[in-house]
Amino acid sequence: MRRTRFACKLITAVATMSVTLPSLASDVCTDDAIVVFDGSGSMAEMGFNNLDEPRILEARRAIEEAIPPIAEDRRIGLVIYGPNGDDDCSGIELYFGPVWNAAPRIIGAVNRLVPTGDTPLTEATKRAVSELSQTSPTGSVVVVTDGKETCMGMPCQLAAELAGGPYTVHVIGFKVRGEFFAWSNENDEAYENAETVARCLADRTGGQYIAAENAKELVNAFHETLGCKLLF
């Protein structure tokens, strides 16, 4: 009789636990997100900057691996800056706002991309935040950049404007390089481990800055900034 009562209590406790366990996906997955991708000419560079292949090739591989599982759980949009402008600094294109199952569209756009133009990352980030404000009261922007703002934009001023607001900006510095001078050692640690000035966008809005030096690290950075966090 005692064993039967114990078994009943155990079954009841397990049933109660199954009801009260928290959801595996945190509420961050309900927020929309937009990827702001660097399509500037430097993404095609290789050679003197210690790159054995153009950045865009590794970026494509990383996106093909990382984005499909992420896009199953949240709405994602895409902005690409660099090409298709009337001049080197006007190439900012909103491909689409946040949508479900965006992976094929993101992969297709990046695979078709021919990197050209300069780096108007401040205006591109501003465009992404503006789009988010039309679709979601909160959300995230993930800026992928290989370097500095080159179009007179002021990312840290934008960061100050966004600080304390409902939108978080994460910045992935992909193969960022410092200034190279002929008389310096190209393998200097400071040269290879430089940070983009856009880091302030992450620092001021509560986002993350992640440096990525290869496709694997870029995959991890996408999962860290875009993926749904698990609660246990």
pLDDT > 70 in the chain, percent:
76
Using the predicted structure, report yes or no on whether residue 14 has a pLDDT greater than 80.
no
Dihedrals φ, ψ of 64, to 5°? Answer: -65, -30
Closest to 108 measured CA to CA, from 143, 69, 73, 80: 80
Beta pairing class for 76-81 and 92-99: antiparallel
Place of tokens 């660097």: 38
pLDDT in tens, 153-210: 999 999 999 999 999 999 999 999 865 433 344 444 444 556 677 899 999 999 999 9
| Between 225 and 228, the higher pLDDT residue | 225
The DSSP line for 150-181 is: -SS--HHHHHHHHTTSSEEEEEEEES------
- 202 touches 173 (CB < 8 A): no
**Burial class (CB within 10 angstroms; exposed 0-12, middle 13-18, buried 19+) of 76:** buried
Amino acid 53: pLDDT: 86
**Burial class (CB within 10 angstroms; exposed 0-12, middle 13-18, buried 19+) of 163:** middle
**Bridge partner residues of 210 (DSSP):** 172
